[in-house]
Amino acid sequence: MKGAEIVIRALEKEGVDTVFGYPGGAIMPLYDALVGSNLKHILVRHEQAAALAADGYARHSGRVGVCFATSGPGATNLITGIANAFLDSVPMVAITGQVATPFIGTDAFQEVDIFGISMPVVKHSFLVRRIEDLAGTIHEAFQIARSGRPGPVLVDLPKDVAIAELDIVAFDDTPDETPARPDAHQVATARQMIERSSRPLVYAGGGIRIAGATEELRSFVDFTGIPVVTTLQGIGSVPSNHELNLGMLGMHGTKQANIAVQECDLLICVAARFDDRVTGKLKEFAPHAKVIHMDIDPAEVSKLRAADCSIVGDVKVALNFLHVRPQIDEWKSRCLTNKAEYAFAYEHKTEHVYAPKMLRDLSVAASNNTVISCDVGQHQMWVAQHCQFQAPENHLTSGGLGTMGYGLPGAIGAQLANPNARVINVSGDGSIMMNIQELATLKRYNIPVKIVLFDNQALGMVRQWQELFFAERYSEVDLSDNPDFAKVAEAFGIPAVKVERPEQVDDAIQQILECEGPLLVHVMIDPRENVWPLVPPGKSNTEMMEAKAV
């Protein structure tokens, strides 16, 4: 077998069915080996989209996403998508072509040290110099990508290794290591802390989805009756309509969630990492609370906030042993009263389409298997605040890196992972232009992703910050020369509708729900609309700005 054939066979043995990529010189042997294989290759129109689509595939399915690119610019174009997966702990294997081994280090055509470039944003990088190591390297890459705290792994494949031949190939099939079991003493300590607390609160993060611990978390919440707040990545780990779900916390979190954090006496952090967008001013975050921190990654525990009880290991196991019933009726009543009092109001005096109401109505009308893949900006926060999610794998968004342009390729990846799901990309007029070329991918494969594009003719989140914190000195946020996005979609062969008035919203939602193929809905919104509430940078989460205060 040639080296490239070994790679394809190894991917098939790992259970891979779909890969995303873009061919070129150094990776061409791998593309030759694809012919006649069982792998479905999706030709994207930019390598960044290949990595982001692999990311969306992995987030929604729980399986390892795979992407290919050639050497030089092909490989460097993957880096943003790889970094996106690294910061959000998404399992991915990226395979890049490389110049032949004799030319490495000679500044050959399309040669870059992608091994070195990628090192800060991967769990591990491989440069395969011998064909004998190839099958084992692919297997090890997958094991590393999906074990423990998942993440991306890069395999750099020199062209001479890809075309070399090997008579006998042994494919490794050693199983992954099982997650570490939590320490029994720490679990017992946590049980006592929960039992003795009078104002406990669950702080649920994105690691719940990664660990497959959604049912365990819900069982724990239902048994204990403890209210829950979630991070951006933790949305859906407890259903949005669950009575005890107070919503997202942090910079654009709900008022009731941030108040609960500041008043609780025990913070049960489950697979979250005390991110700065969550904590605000760290020294004043949950000031009265003891902390139980549960995570698979020991490096995260006590990294930013010292834990009074550390539970390192499989959170699924730990949650099952924490079923105690603290006496918290008064606390629960207070949290639910705040939830009712500070609930979002959707009666908004405006002649424009009100994006939060449209998103709320769309998510209520959609079925539970609807996936929303979001870009980055104001619309991202509106989705987090106002859409209803019944499962964490149905909310796809770039958290740690905040990658504009994530939404469309992420949606493509999720749709291909689950062809029976309804997948919606919510984007903005700034974000959509980052990877708008992937409309061609939608058309080529007739991928039925629906795009809801909110157009405020500005880089909305940057404009909001310049309004509030830079004395309205607006700098390079004007997008009033946007194209007609409906016509752009139609030029790609994708049907589109334009929504300019509130009375058109219901019909647009109906079209989104009934259209069988891809569709773009271009929604014009008020350029002055801001996201509320907002915790100013460097402030405590108690110092939330609201619309009426501006």
Residues designated as active site: 47, 109-110, 159, 461
Which pairs count as long-range contacts for 446-449, CB under 8 Å and 24+ apart, including other chains?
446/517, 446/518, 447/412, 447/415, 447/416, 447/518, 448/415, 448/423, 448/515, 448/516, 448/517, 448/518, 449/408, 449/411, 449/412, 449/415, 449/423, 449/424, 449/425, 449/518
Which residues make Cβ contacts (< 8 Å) with residue 197, sequence separation at least 6?
265, 266, 290, 326, 328
Q: Is 405 helix (H, G, I), strand (E, B) or coil?
A: coil
Q: Are 173 and 13 in contact (CB under 8 A)?
A: yes
Dist CA 470 CA 466 (whole Å): 5
Q: Are 159 and 100 in contact (CB under 8 A)?
A: yes
Q: Are 104 and 116 in contact (CB under 8 A)?
A: no
Q: Which residues are bridge partners to 18 per DSSP?
A: 40
Residue-by-residue DSSP string for 4-51: HHHHHHHHHHTT--EEEE---TTTHHHHHHHTTSSPEEEE-SSHHHHH
452-462 as b/e, with b when 16 or more CB fall inside 10 Å? bbbbbbbbbbb
Characterize the bridge pairing of strands 40-43 and 65-69.
unpaired
Residue-by-residue DSSP string for 128-178: ---GGGHHHHHHHHHHHHHSSS--EEEEEEEHHHHH-B-S------PPPPP
Q: Are 270 and 315 in contact (CB under 8 A)?
A: yes
Work out the widest C-alpha separation in the chain, in whole angstroms. Answer: 73
Dist CA 272 CA 205 (whole Å): 4
Q: Which residues are bridge partners to 427 per DSSP?
A: 453
